[in-house]
Structure 1
Amino acid sequence: MHVFTTWVRAALAGGALASAVLIAAPAAHADNPATGKGPATAQSMPEIAARLPKITSADVLKLARSQIGISENAKGGGTKFQEWYMSTPRARETLARDGGKLADYLNAPWCDMFVSWVGQQLGIGPVMGADAYTVKHAQWFADHGRWGHTPKPGAVVFFAWSGSKHIDDINHVGFVVKDNGDGTIQTIEGNTGDGGAVEARTRPTWQVAGYGYPMYPGDLSASS
């Protein structure tokens, strides 16, 4: 554990792993979208979404865009996204799953904490999911039938810098803003760039492992 953590932090300092995970994770499991743990057997995703605020993909992107410019400190942490995640029951659940100490989250890679924070701030955490580990968050979408390979505004985009399409190879996460139609997408991402910040980026789609599709309650209302 100590060796892995030291290696990740050293790589972050050199910019090589801007969105690596702090610790290795165990085998995937299906989490309940309403609670973040246990099998989702009681209610379907549409039933859960129907009870949530009528937030749309446009609302999500508006909030994400408003965070552009927020950056980490020299230790790779100290953002409000990391502090928020540490305060949540979900942080205790992921610690029980992955190991480590709660304080480790304060300087851990925070791209997925940013995505999770956006969902929670808008009251749609049960359909956005919440995690600090990109691989597990992607698997959560896949386990609930919300995974695919088509870029859509508001989709959660998971990157594998190697070009792999396997969930286990995912390195980073953000939000899709637009499909440019030329083999690139526009995104908003946390923990990106040289200084580790929230930034708008243009990415080639060959780096995308897949997309998670939150069931946005407001978009469901508009289409019904």
Structure 2
Amino acid sequence: MAKHRFTAAPKIQIARALLGATIAASALGAHTMTASADTATGVAAATAARHPDSAIAAHEAGAKGGNAAETKVNVTADQVLAFAKAQVGTSENAAGGGTKFQQWYAGSQRAAETVARDGGSRTAYLNAAWCSMFVSWVGEQTGARPQVGWDAYTVAHAKWFKANHRFGALAKPGAVVFFSWSGGKDLSDIQHVGFVVKDNQDGTISTVEGNTGNGKVEERVRPKSQVVGYGYPQYA
């Protein structure tokens, strides 16, 4: 069964309050991983813990200064969607892990920052809910990560778009779509995330998502009533 929302044990109460949701404890057995080098400039762990949303925005801006909205990328929405669709069929193992998305995230600089923010350990990501990791991985592999963002926690990922004034209610191809199965519209209600392929103009959207169905990357059709909102990367 696919797990739609990554959770981790917070180290400090203020991080929980700022995220607007209780993060459940996650305990995993011993796992091994290959830590991949990640050249992105990270913010200090202490800053990330104190101010998760501003720290995420600062991290995405990188050493050049400015905010993420000013960081341009050379990839188009069509290219990102084509790459995401090429992953369709990729599946987790019986333990809910084993995907390249989880392995990449666990070895990334971002994992160190989210561990500082949420608690737990890098190895926790190896079997954690990976819908947001999938979106982040696609951004990384296509060169669009400064605009797509990266996080394992769907609520924090949405708050990053909101903090950068790139969050709204209009479905656009390539947008990052955030879902609440109950139909809630608060960011804290978010349970799942994917990419918008198109607005079907009939009250539904076509999407490509990770960690859906039985823990796979799939193309889906979703009712707009389940959408909390959309994050808008500024593609080429």
- Identify if the C-alpha distance between structure 1 residues 117 and 175 changes in structure 2 by more than 3 Å, giving closer, same or farther: same
- Residue 37 of structure 1 and its aligned partner are, at CA, apart by 8.4
TM-score for both structures, normalised by structure 1: 0.83
Provide closer, same or farther for how the CA distance between residues 206 and 22 of structure 1 changes in structure 2, counting only shifts above 3 A: same
Q: Which residue of 2 aligns with 1:93?
A: 113
Q: State the identity %.
A: 55
Aligned ranges 1:187-206 → 2 under 5 Å: 187-193=207-213, 195-206=214-225
Compute the displacement of 1:101 (Å): 1.4
Contact 2:88 2:218 in 1 (8 A): yes
The equivalent residue for 1:81 is: 101
Whether the 8 Å CA contact 2:57–2:163 is kept in 1: the answer is no
* Equivalent residue letter for 2:65: A
Structure 1 residue identity aligned to 2:230: Y
Provide the TM-score with structure 2 as the length reference.
0.79
Pair 1:33–1:175, CA change in 2 (3 A): same
Segments of structure 2 that go 5 or more residues without pairing to the other structure are 11-15, 20-52
Question: Within the alignment, does 1:109 sit opposite 2:129 as a pair?
Answer: yes
One-letter amino acid of the counterpart of residue 18, structure 1: K
Note the aligned Cα RMSD (angstroms): 2.0
Query: CA separation in 2, counterparts of 1:180 and 1:110?
Result: 26
Measured in 1, the distance between the counterparts of 2:170 and 2:55 equals: 23
Shift in Å, 1:20: 2.2
1:23 Cα shift?
2.0
The equivalent of 1:43 in structure 2 is 66
Determine the C-alpha separation between the residues in 1 that align with 2:68 and 2:61.
14
Structure 1's 146 and 24: CA in aligned 2 closer, same or farther, altered over 3 A? farther
CA distance in 2: counterparts of 1:36 and 1:88, whole angstroms:
14
Report the CA distance between 1:125 and its aligned residue. Answer: 1.3
Q: For 1:39-61, what per-residue CA distance to the aligned partner results, in whole angstroms no more than 9, with x for missing partners?
A: x9931445311xx3x10000000
Q: Which residue of 2 aligns with 1:210?
A: 229
Pairing partner for 2:7 from 16, 19, 22? 22
| Maintained 8 Å contact 1:111/1:190 | yes
**CA contact 1:138–1:158 (8 Å) conserved in 2:** yes
Find the counterpart in structure 2 of residue 148 from structure 1.
168
Take 2:210 and 2:224, find their aligned partners in 1: how far apart are those partners? 18
Conserved? CA contact 2:61–2:67, under 8 Å: no
Q: Counterpart in 2 of 1:221?
A: none
Mark the CA change 1:183 to 1:24 in structure 2 (over 3 Å): closer, same or farther.
Answer: farther
Q: Counterparts of 2:233 and 2:9 in 1: how far apart (Å)?
A: 25
Shift of 1:36: 4.0
8 Å CA contact retained: 1:34, 1:127: no
The match for 1:6 is: none
Q: Write the letter of the residue equivalent to 1:22.
A: T
Unpaired runs of at least 5, structure 1: 1-14, 219-224
Q: Contact 2:106–2:123 (CA<8 Å) still a contact in 1? A: yes
Report the AA paired with residue 231 of structure 2.
G
Shift of 1:123: 1.4
**Matched length:** 197
State the Cα deviation string for residues 102-144 of structure 1 (Å, max 9, x = none).
1110000000000000001111211111000000000000000
Amino acid in the other structure paired with 2:151: D
